[in-house]
Amino acid sequence: MSSRSSSTSTTTAPAATMNASRLPHDKIAMRAYDKWCKRGCPTGSDMQDWIEAEAELRAEMNRTGAASGTANVRR
User: How many Cα neighbours within 13 Å face the side chain of 7?
Assistant: 4
Amino acid letter for position 25? H
46-64 vs 25-38: helix axis angle to the nearest 10? 120
- pLDDT for 14 beyond 50: no
**pLDDT at residue 71, as a whole number:** 47
**pLDDT at residue 8, as a whole number:** 44
Average pLDDT over residues 43-66: 92
Amino acid letter for position 10? T
> Which of these, 12, 28, 32, lies nearest to 20 by C-alpha position?
12
Please report which residue ranges of 1-75 form alpha helices under DSSP H: 2-20, 25-38, 46-64, 70-74
**pLDDT at residue 68, as a whole number:** 53
Question: Number of folded domains in the chain?
Answer: 1
pTM recorded for the entire structure: 0.57
pLDDT digits (tens, 9 = 90+) for 17-50: 334 468 899 999 999 999 999 999 999 999 999 9
Report the distance separating Cα 34 and Cα 60, nearest Å. Answer: 16
In which domain, by residue range, is 62 found?
2-74
